[in-house]
Amino acid sequence: MRKKLLDVLACPDCYGTLECESSDVADDSDVIAGKLICQTCEKVFPIERGIPRFVPSGNYATSFGYQWNRFRREQIDSLNGTRQSEKRLLSETAWADEWWSGKYILDAGCGAGRFLEVASRNTDCDVVGVDISSAIDAAQETVAGRSNAHLVQASIFNLPFRPGSFDGVYCIGVIQHTPNPPSAIESLADNVKEGGEIAVTIYERRWFTLLYSKYWLRPLTTRISPAVLLTLIKYFMPVAFVLSEVLFRVPLLKKLFRFVLPVANYVDAKDLSLRQRYQWAILDTFDMLAPAYDKPQREDNVVKLLTARSICDIRRLPNAGLNLVGRKSRDIHDVHA
């Protein structure tokens, strides 16, 4: 943990100031082990392997910890030779290249760090990646050596930061996998400073959403251990991948086949090799079937939640899913303008 992180950290329970007591320090002064002590309520939070930990191990996101430690390399641009993550991050935040400089950014639900790796390339900004699961350890490997990339293991519902700490907050593909998406949205909005920006991408709920084939299987697959589920997916994938290769390309019917066949095969991703698409198919099919929660949200409800938290200028971007961006109002009149 870099001492600079203390500029935004606070006790997640009372927002008191945290004092760092280190027991192991690296040559560059980063804290490898130690503890954070709240000066108000006196609660103690450990620093282990260089990461402050505000949640115990084992929680609703266990499958994601397994997933991202098992598949850390697949979606990291610098390792797979593509710009998939870069394009998605820039498209779903709509933040211009020059906007990032001098900013403090929160990557909420960073997983193995696919977007954190992109955001931290700009050495003029500081990016804090937060994840509740052990995926945070995979992210640490992804951004190793980057002095402007910080990592925290914490809950999205109880973020250990001073309210309004961040110039920008983005959360891509995470909120629907939490037990209480509305509370997650409110928590994220509270961490945006006045005039700051927020970008969220969430599975969208429409009248037909729960008819999607993965929801037929999830009552079973969420009860299987991650390791067993992954083994089953790998066993069936040779057939499922070939089938989807054909059906997902059929004119006029490909959308229907993608709806009824619970396989993630990105047949239109021309910058991925066949081998890469096969690995991504395993990864994202697991991602569809393993999470404990999968709660798509309606656009009007999300807009209402953001507006109530002083987010204004909310607009929807033309990307997959429910992708909304907005700005934290400096003036209460902005919210209702």
119, 126, 116, 129: which is closest to 148 by C-alpha? 126
Dump pLDDT digits (tens) for 33-92: 999 999 999 999 999 999 999 998 778 888 999 999 999 999 999 999 999 999 999 999
Residue 193: the pLDDT is: 97
pLDDT at 334 over 80: no
Mean pLDDT, rounded, for 2-20? 95
Q: What is the pLDDT of residue 61?
A: 84
What are 144-157's pLDDT values in tens digits?
999 999 999 999 99
Q: Is the pLDDT of residue 335 over 60?
A: no
User: For the chain, which domains are there?
Assistant: 1-48 (no CATH), 54-204+297-335 (3.40.50.150), 212-289 (no CATH)
pLDDT of residue 337: 45
| Per-residue pLDDT tens over the stretch 223-242 | 999 999 999 999 999 999 99
Per-residue pLDDT for 281 more than 70? yes
pLDDT of res. 336: 44
- Torsion, Cα 226 232 238 241, to 10 degrees, reads -60
Q: What is the pLDDT of residues 156-199, one digit of tens each?
A: 999 999 999 999 999 999 999 999 999 999 999 999 999 999 99
Q: Provide the total of helices (H) and of strands (E) in the chain, helices listed first.
A: 12, 11
192-212 residue pLDDT tens: 999 999 999 999 999 999 999
pLDDT of residue 262: 96
Residue 286 has which token pair?
A: 């697991």
From the list 64, 162, 58, 55, the residue with the least C-alpha distance to 106 is: 162
The pLDDT, as a whole number, for residue 235 is 98
Q: Look at residues 144, 131, 191 and name the one whose alpha carbon lies nearest to residue 328.
A: 191
pTM: 0.94
Helix axes 274-289, 214-221, angle to 10 degrees: 70
Pairs from 300-307 (Cβ < 8 Å, separation ≥ 24) = 301/182, 302/185, 302/200, 302/202, 305/182, 305/185, 305/186, 305/189, 306/185, 306/189, 306/198, 307/335, 307/336
